[in-house]
Structures are given as structure tokens and as C-alpha cells.
Structure 1
Amino acid sequence: MQWLYKLEKKFGKYAIPNLMLYILSLQAIVFLAVNLLGPGILSALVFDRDLILSGQVWRLITFIFVPDDFNPLWFILMLFIYYSISNQIERIIGSFNFNVFYFSSIIATIAVCFIFDIRLLSLAYYINLSLFIAFATLMPDATFYLYFFIPFKAKYLLVFYFVILGMQMLTGGLPTIALICSSLLGYFIFFAYPALKHQKLRRKGLAGQKQFRAAKRELDAEKRAPIKVAFHKCHVCGKTELDDPDMEFRYCSKCNGNYEYCMDHLRNHEHVK
């Protein structure tokens, strides 16, 4: 996309390499703090529109550092998975594009939470979920292991997550729809929109190919058609056996030369002297 290329050319030097490493490290710090100091610390980090407007602006970003789950085993597993897939995505689309991918979803989520006054403990859940969806889109044949021993491909994970999100949007109301869509903004920019654009161009290309093949068939048919040559031609009207296969032609014995006439003009013409 041209506008992304221009942005990268102008602001690419400000991109944060390994962005998810820093975010996940801060999530690990929050996880340890909650386990050591108690869950009360989360009240100072979660998104709260009223408190933000009263001056606690750090909540605009600290909600990203609240882990999705506080079960130690699950948290460690998710840290590993998030880092692995985000690293793969960043290697494919580049650090700047990954920054745009992640921060655009954060900004859109903040806007939606302000509009609908959404207050959830883990607002980053849907944003992090977009990482799974992006990874499954980029590498659909990659294999995950459910419960460490049941293999399944990423493309099935993609379908599963879209089904879950669709059900949540149908049952959750407008705020839920807006929250999910905002969290997937980065995915829409880098994957959904290019895919739709590619499909549109592909349809145009297929239509052009169809027209080309039809024109080629017509041209080939013309080339294969036999060339017909007339052997008889009326000296008066120019009619040949190609014009009228049933017409007979005769030479006039009274004309000076070999002049051939159709039956309509054999006896009705001016003799050539």
C-alpha cells in the first residue's frame, strides 16, 4: 500500500524492533507484581475512562500490560506463543509495519472504550488474538499442538477464532462488535483489505483472460477456415459460384474473347467485339 510505504519512508527510523518482547516483558512484571503484592495493583493499570479524564493518563497504555490470564502455566505458555508468532509476523512484514499493525489496534481500542465506556480487566485480549489470526493468515499450514500432543494446522485455528468472534459479536451487542473490530484494525489493514483488493484484481484478470481466450478462438477459427476461390465470374454483374452455388455459368460464343456470364446475363448482354 502506497500510504504505508510513504509512512515507513518518513517514520521508519522510529520503529521499535521486537516490540512484543518489551510488551510481554512488562506483562511478566505485572504478573509477578500481582502474585507478590496482590491483585489490587491491577486497579491502577486497567482502562477507566473517568479516571483517565481526571488525570490518570497512564491508563491509556498500561492496560496493554495486563496479562490475559494469571494461571502460571497458562501465562508462561502464552508468553512463549505470543513471542514466537509475533516474531514470525515481524520478520515477514517488517518492524515498522508490525508497529503500525499493533499500535493501530491499540489506538482504535482506546477510541472505542472512550465512546462506549468499556471497562474490562484484559482489554488486550482481542488485540493479542489478532496476532494469532495474522499468523494463521500468513502461515496457514503451520502446526500447533493442542494440549501439547494434538496437532492441528493454523488455518483451522483461523476458522475457529473467526467463528468464536462472530458468535461474540452476535450476542454481545454494539460495544462488543466495536471492540472486536477495533482490535482487529491492524489485521484489516495488512491482511483483510489487501486480500479483498487482490480478489478484485484477480476477478478483473480472469475476465480479461476470458476475453483474450475468446478473441484468440475467433482468430484461430478464422485462420483454420478454408480460403475459397471463385472459378466462375459473370462479366456483367460479377456474380460467382460463391455467391450462388446453384447458378450456372457459360461462355458466350459471340463475344470476342473468353467472357463468362451467369444465366441471368448469358442472353442479355452486349457482346464484346
Structure 2
Amino acid sequence: MSRLERRFGRYAIANLMAYIVGAQGVVFLLARTPQGAHIIDNLRFNPTLIAQGEVWRLVSFVVIPPSFSIWVFFILYFYYLLGTRLEEEWGNFRFNVYYFSGVALSILGAFLAGASATATYLNLSIFLAFATIDPEFSILLFFVIPVKVKYLAWLAWLAVAFTVVFEPLPAKIMVGVSLLNYFAFFGRDLKRRVRTGIAFGPQRGRFRASVRAGAAAPIHRCTICGATEQDDPRLEFRFCSKCAGYHEYCLTHLGAHDHIR
């Protein structure tokens, strides 16, 4: 990826999500006009019409807003927040690759499944990426209840599992293919987390034993500041997926450190 970025990075679109969300907002307003239904219909992904020459439908489906209710602007702001956070974390080029590979996979999944492509799973892949990078981020559900995005991500994964197990084959293909960009970006990190969890299993047992013996030693320590869970029980720690080896950081330094290679 770094080699590609050095070669093609200058072509990356900065603030990509702002353009996508802005276009969806414009389409939402156009949909409220007398010609709205016709406009939306001309943007939808339709393999038959694409084969007849309406090639813009290959990509125009991404500017159809996720909802046509009055809440759409809150939804669009939420996706703008997700996209800009990912762009801050990865940079313009990597986020462009993630987003446009998601578009391409949605198109591929639609052709394989013989279905109409929508941005549903594309948006899901963006949300899951955000939840993986910043799982402790909280949103106000119904503008009242604070909920961490990691819990919403678990619900999203349950919905994916339900689709894979119970939905018809076209739906299985769509969700499976459309999320390949997520696994391409995070697969190695997910495997590392599984291995880390297994490796730390015996340490957790020893930790519990030391607690019972009255000599508890810290099991988490920030690589930068040295803080442990004993300094403040409210502190949370994460392993950095970009550092070589297993380096743990408090949330303050997780996104503000030089990666160890």
C-alpha cells in the first residue's frame, strides 16, 4: 500500500466523504421535487440498463441517500464524521482506496448475485472500519442515550451473521463480497488480536492469582507514558495495529505516537 501511495497518492481526493455526503444531500433535495422519483430511478444500479449503455448507473447509486426521511441530514452527518475520522487515521489515499474498493466490490457483488447494488453494505464497511479504529467513541442514541460504537458494531456483525445464515443466496453473496475491503484492511489486525487474546489468557490467570495473593501486578502499561490500570481503573488500553510486535497504548497516546517498525 505504501508503494502505491508514493506512486498514486497525488491523485487522491481530499475530503472525499464531504463530496459524497454533499452529493447525497443534493439528491435528497432533488427527490422532493415533482421529478424526484424519475431522478432517483435514473441513478439506481440496474444491470440490464447498464448493458444497454446507461453506464453512469455503475457508480451513481452511491449518491442516493441512505434515507429519505427528515432524519437524513443527521445520518449524513454521522457518515461524514465516520469518513473524516478514517481519513485522519489513514490519510487521503488509503481512505480513497478503502472507499472506492468498497464501491467496486458492491458492483461485483451485485453482478454475481444478479441483484441491484446499493450503498448499504458500503456504508456498513465504513462504520465497521470506524468502530475498529475508535471502538470507545460514543454517540447519543435518540439524542439521549450514550452508546459506544463497539456495541453497535457487535449488533451490525450479528445482522451480517443472520444474513449469511438465514437470507437467500443473493443476499449472502452481496454481504460477503461487499465486506472484503474491510477484511483486506483489518484481517491481519483481527488475527493479531485473536493471537494476543490467546497469549494473554495465561497472564490473566496469573493476574487473578496474584490478586488473590494480595500482590497484583499491572497487566496493561502504555508504551509512551507508562500508565497502568492501577494508576486509574478507568483507563483503557489498546494494541496498535500499525506497530510491529505487540505495543500497548492508553487511549490518549493510541492515536498520537510514532509507529514502531
Same fold, TM exceeding 0.5? yes
Structure number with larger C-alpha Rg: 1
Q: Quick one: structure 1 residues 59 and 141, their matched pair in 2 at CA, closer, same or farther if it must change by over 3 Å?
A: same
Letter of the structure 1 residue corresponding to residue 44 of structure 2: V
- Secondary structure at 2:139's aligned position in 1? strand
Q: Work out whether residues 52 and 59 of structure 1, in 8 Å CA contact, stay in contact via their aligned partners in 2.
A: yes
Task: State the 1:32 CA deviation.
Answer: 0.9
Q: Quick one: structure 1 residues 143 and 9, their matched pair in 2 at CA, closer, same or farther if it must change by over 3 Å?
A: same
**Match for residue 65 of structure 1?**
63
Task: State the 1:198 CA deviation.
Answer: 5.8
1:178-207 CA distance string (max 9 Å, x none): 21122222211212333215645x59988x
**Match for residue 172 of structure 1?**
167
Task: State the 1:69 CA deviation.
Answer: 0.7
**Match for residue 5 of structure 1?**
2
Q: Work out whether residues 101 and 189 of structure 1, in 8 Å CA contact, stay in contact via their aligned partners in 2.
A: no
| Amino-acid identity (%) | 37
Distance 1:193 1:49 in 2: 34
Gap regions ≥5 residues in structure 1? 207-273
- Secondary structure at 2:167's aligned position in 1? helix
1:101-160 CA distance string (max 9 Å, x none): 11111111111211222125xx10111121111111111111111100011111111111
Map 1:194-273 → 2, pairs under 5 A: 194-197=189-192, 199=194, 202=196
- Secondary structure at 2:68's aligned position in 1? coil
Distance 1:143 1:76 in 2: 19
Q: Work out whether residues 45 and 62 of structure 1, in 8 Å CA contact, stay in contact via their aligned partners in 2.
A: yes
Residue 78 (structure 1) aligned with residue 75 (structure 2): yes
**Match for residue 248 of structure 2?**
none
Q: Work out whether residues 82 and 126 of structure 2, in 8 Å CA contact, stay in contact via their aligned partners in 1.
A: yes
- Of residues 41, 44, 49 in structure 2, which corresponds to 1:43? 41
**Match for residue 162 of structure 1?**
157
- Secondary structure at 1:144's aligned position in 2? strand
Distance 1:70 1:192 in 2: 34
Aligned pairs, number = 201
**Match for residue 100 of structure 2?**
103
Q: Work out whether residues 101 and 181 of structure 2, in 8 Å CA contact, stay in contact via their aligned partners in 1.
A: yes
Map 1:118-197 → 2, pairs under 5 A: 118-119=115-116, 123-197=118-192
Q: Quick one: structure 1 residues 10 and 204, their matched pair in 2 at CA, closer, same or farther if it must change by over 3 Å?
A: farther
**Match for residue 54 of structure 2?**
56
Q: Work out whether residues 31 and 67 of structure 1, in 8 Å CA contact, stay in contact via their aligned partners in 2.
A: yes
Distance 1:193 1:184 in 2: 15
1:85-106 CA distance string (max 9 Å, x none): 1111110011111011111111
Distance 2:49 2:32 in 1: 25
Distance 1:75 1:203 in 2: 39
**Match for residue 218 of structure 1?**
none
Q: Which runs of 4+ in 1 moved over 4 A?
A: 197-200, 202-206
Gap regions ≥5 residues in structure 2? 201-261
**Match for residue 27 of structure 1?**
24
Given the two structures, how large is their TM-score scaled by the length of structure 2? 0.72
Task: State the 1:55 CA deviation.
Answer: 0.4
Letter of the structure 1 residue corresponding to residue 175 of structure 2: I
